[in-house]
Amino acid sequence: MERREYAVKSEGLSLHVTEWGPVHCDPVVMLHGIRGYAETFAGLAAALQPEYRVIGIDQRGRGASEWDPARNYYTDAYVADLAAVADHLGLRQFDLLGHSMGGIAAIVYAAAHPARVRRMVIEDAGPGAFEGSAGAERIQRELATTPAGFADWDAAMAFMRALRPTVTEAAREQRLRSMLKVLPDGGYTWRYDHAGIVATRLHPDPARVVDLRPHVAQLACPTLVLRGGRSDYLQNASAQAMADANPNIQWKEVPDAGHYIHDDQPAIVAGHVRAFLLARDIPVTRDVQATPTHRSGDSHVG
């Protein structure tokens, strides 16, 4: 599978982008979650070959992208970064997939740019996922109690086993290799701006919190919402409310998957994504609620 890596500038920051697949194929951009990285989509990218050019972004403050000294880790910043990458690559129209935090940014971008997004997949994200959910409380606890680093690799693996008990050992190791870097004096620390992201997530600016409901209602592209059957974040009622609010939205439950759906059930998720993106005819309703979107942030993501 072809692979390319390069940097794109957005609001003065260098964003690291990874691509998989032939450059001439139909593009799909993928946005990861709060502590994620583009490499998390490598398996899904392989499942979309040979039809797709998959474009993964290390979102600001994560992976090989630059950290934001202003700690601007809000949805409006992630939406601006997505716009910068799409414009830099000259993507007139593309498919879009987002997990958790990336799903929220995807919804806001697609609502504001209906002509740019052909089809969209949202993994375990949507209105109501933060407010009062056990998953939101879990994510806050995890962020507050995550150590700044580890003395050795075994300590890091032990932490990841406790944090993600349902995923395979191979998936945990791959995640750690993408998330950690070696310290000059030994040991490991995170490759993401842990302090900045924790500060923004636990103590957000109230003026930058967005209500996702009007954005969901305005979506003009066919949208598939995937909910983990064991997810403690997006609930069945929330997924159904999204479909009720907009005829362009459908949702499916992925059995025996938690919030980290494509880690827990990679084959099932790949099957759903591939079938949805490659389907020939999906009805589209253009007469959706014309609620104006506004450039605002959302710290309530996971």
32: left (phi over 0), alpha (psi -120 to 50) or beta: beta
In a domain, 153, yes or no: no
Is the whole model's pTM more than 0.85, yes or no?
yes
pLDDT tens for residues 175-227? 898 889 999 989 999 999 999 999 998 888 988 888 899 999 999 999 999 99
In a domain, 194, yes or no: no
Residue 49 makes CB contacts below 8 A (sequence gap 6+) with 1, 20, 21
In a domain, 175, yes or no: no
In a domain, 149, yes or no: no
For the chain, what is the domain count?
Answer: 1
In a domain, 183, yes or no: no
The neighbouring-strand residues paired with 205 are none
In a domain, 170, yes or no: no
Q: What's the domain range around 242?
A: 3-143+204-278
In a domain, 87, yes or no: yes
Cis before 50? omega within 30: yes
Domain at 7, CATH number: 3.40.50.1820
pLDDT tens for residues 35-76? 899 999 999 999 999 999 999 999 999 999 999 999 999 999
